[in-house]
Amino acid sequence: EDEELLARFEALVAAGETVEPRDWLPDGYRRMLIRQIAQHAHSEIIGMQPEGAWLTRAPSLHRKAALLAKVQDEAGHGMYLYSAAETLGVDRADLMDALHRGQQRYAATFDHPALTWADTGAIAWLTDGAAVVNQAPLTRTSYGPYARAMRRVCQEEAFHVRQGYDQLLSLSRGTPEQHRMAQDAVNRWWLPAVALMFGPPDTEAGGAGAAVGSAVSRRAIAWGIKQHTNDELRQRFVDLVVPQAESLGLSLPDPAIRWNPERGHHDFGPIDWPCYRRALAEGTHWARRRLAHREAAHRDGAWVREAAEAYARRDGDETAE
Ligand code: FAQ
């Protein structure tokens, strides 16, 4: 019977139909989705921290309002994604626990500090820019609740990219010191965006993890979870941002970037993925800080969760009043 169900499931996916929570799902598909959606949700909420650190120091009311809205949007994305994960039969509290215990990951992009105000512009332009490139195809992912969450998320992320671009443009055209600050932030956020927002390369010499990486991608593509490999999306991102950097009057810190007419793409330098792998395996000062901050926020929010639960338990008559 399972084989018949599996055949029906695979036919559904092959036909480009979305799979819904009421449908029968193979265990592997469910596990892969829970892992990706949870990792994605965790990235959204941990990703609030670098920019959030500048909320009290924004240089104008206008910039502060925009940054506040952006950071709140990221919280909202986390919430849609936790809800999408819950349709797969997991509990949000358990996912949160797994994050806090280090059993589930989040994008290590955010394990870097936002050193100056310009970093908030570089994060929004580059990191959200990479997020849109990676996530736009996910609006057509095979699992309905994830695909629907991605539509709204992508619209909001695309707006963040414009906000970051606008902020960097002001700095780039400002005083020489402001220009230097913008360039310095771009220099520091380029690699975390281009390397980490897309995951490991499709092929990598040596290392068991490397084989897992590409195998994971192949499985995800076969099931219609992903449509493109990590490297295809990374190339798309590089092609997109090179002309944007030019119009910003800023450079990207990779001397190997140049247009390759034969490939019809920009070449770029190799990424030292073993270095990132080591950082992921061993942990870093900023990774510990991000997680400690998250856990403290979770503890501080306990009374809000308790109040919300108490409110939800009130009987229907009273709520109707
Ligand atoms: N950091 O399985 P693969 C956002 C781990 S949204 C840390 O081959 P895959 C918006 C991976 O878990 C950002 N670990 O990776 C925003 C695995 O370890 P495990 C998030 C990483 O699935 C902007 C191992 O390496 N977006 O930020 C990372 O092919 C600004 C092997 O990896 C999404 O999640 C990493 N970067 O590619 C918010 C989009 N990459 O679990 C605030 C959906 C890999 O076996 C401010 N997700 N690892 O122990 C995806 O498309 C994929 O999951 C990738 C990872 C592309 C992220």
Please check the confidence at residue 206 and state whether its pLDDT lies above 80: no
CATH of the domain at 230: 1.20.1260.10
Ligand 1: does its nearest atom lie under 6 Å from the Cβ of 40?
Answer: yes
pLDDT of amino acid 320: 52
Q: In the chain, what is the greatest distance between 2 CA atoms, to the nearest angstrom? A: 70
pLDDT of amino acid 317: 55
Q: Enumerate the β-bridge partners of residue 266.
A: 259
Please check the confidence at residue 105 and state whether its pLDDT lies above 70: yes
Handedness of CA 11, 13, 17, 19 (dihedral sign): positive
Ligand 1: does its nearest atom lie under 6 Å from the Cβ of 39?
Answer: yes
Ligand 1: does its nearest atom lie under 6 Å from the Cβ of 120?
Answer: no
Ligand 1: does its nearest atom lie under 6 Å from the Cβ of 242?
Answer: no
pLDDT band at 205 (very low <50, low <70, confident <90, very high): very low
Structural domain that includes position 250: 2-320
How far, in Å, is the centroid of ligand 1 from the Cα of 177? 35
As given in the structure block, the two tokens for residue 103 are 């059993």
145-185 per-position pLDDT tens digit = 999 999 999 999 999 999 999 999 999 999 999 999 999 99
Distances (CA, A) of 173 to 65, 167, 176, 179, 305: 22, 10, 8, 7, 46
pLDDT band at 192 (very low <50, low <70, confident <90, very high): very high
Q: Enumerate the β-bridge partners of residue 267.
A: 258
E strand map for the chain:
258-260, 265-267
Count of beta carbons in the 10 Å neighbourhood of residue 286: 16
Please check the confidence at residue 269 and state whether its pLDDT lies above 50: yes
36-47 per-position pLDDT tens digit = 999 999 999 999
Please check the confidence at residue 209 and state whether its pLDDT lies above 50: no
Q: Which helix (H) or strand (E) element contains residue 293?
A: helix 285-300
Residue nearest to atom 50 of ligand 1 (CA): 36
Ligand 1: does its nearest atom lie under 6 Å from the Cβ of 47?
Answer: yes
pTM of the model: 0.94
Q: What percent of the chain has pLDDT over 70?
A: 94
Nearest to 186 by CA among 258, 118, 107: 118
pLDDT band at 76 (very low <50, low <70, confident <90, very high): very high
Please check the confidence at residue 94 and state whether its pLDDT lies above 90: yes
Rounded mean pLDDT, 209-220? 66
10 Å CB burial of residue 191 (0-12, 13-18, 19+) is buried
pLDDT of amino acid 214: 65
Give the type of residue at 193: A
pLDDT of amino acid 216: 78
Please give the mean pLDDT across all residues of the chain. 93
- Give the whole-angstrom CA distance, residue 273 versus residue 230: 13
ipTM of the complex: 0.94
Ligand 1: does its nearest atom lie under 6 Å from the Cβ of 43?
Answer: yes
b (16+ CB within 10 A) / e for 134-160: bbbbbbebbbbbbbebbeebbebbebb
pLDDT of amino acid 188: 98
Distances (CA, A) of 68 to 36, 74, 89: 27, 10, 33
pLDDT of amino acid 202: 86
How far, in Å, is the centroid of ligand 1 from the Cα of 70? 21
Give the total residue count for the chain: 321
Rounded mean pLDDT, 233-260? 98
Please check the confidence at residue 219 and state whether its pLDDT lies above 90: no
Nearest atom in ligand 1 to 44's CA: 38
pLDDT of amino acid 213: 52
How far, in Å, is the centroid of ligand 1 from the Cα of 60? 34
Q: Enumerate the β-bridge partners of residue 19.
A: 143
Rounded mean pLDDT, 24-33? 95
Instruction: Report the domain count for the chain.
Output: 1
How far, in Å, is the centroid of ligand 1 from the Cα of 104? 10
Ligand 1: does its nearest atom lie under 6 Å from the Cβ of 217?
Answer: yes
Question: Are residues 144 and 173 in contact, defined by beta-carbon separation less than 8 angstroms?
Answer: no
Rounded mean pLDDT, 59-85? 97
Question: Are residues 136 and 176 in contact, defined by beta-carbon separation less than 8 angstroms?
Answer: no
HEC assignment per residue over 63-95: HHHHHHHHHHHHHHHHHHHHHHHHCCCCCHHHH
Residue nearest to atom 39 of ligand 1 (CA): 40
Ligand 1: does its nearest atom lie under 6 Å from the Cβ of 132?
Answer: no
Integer distance in angstroms from the first to the last C-alpha of the chain?
50
Ligand 1: does its nearest atom lie under 6 Å from the Cβ of 36?
Answer: yes
Rounded mean pLDDT, 117-133? 98
pLDDT of amino acid 203: 80
Q: Which of 21-25, 113-117, 215-219 has the highest mean pLDDT?
A: 113-117
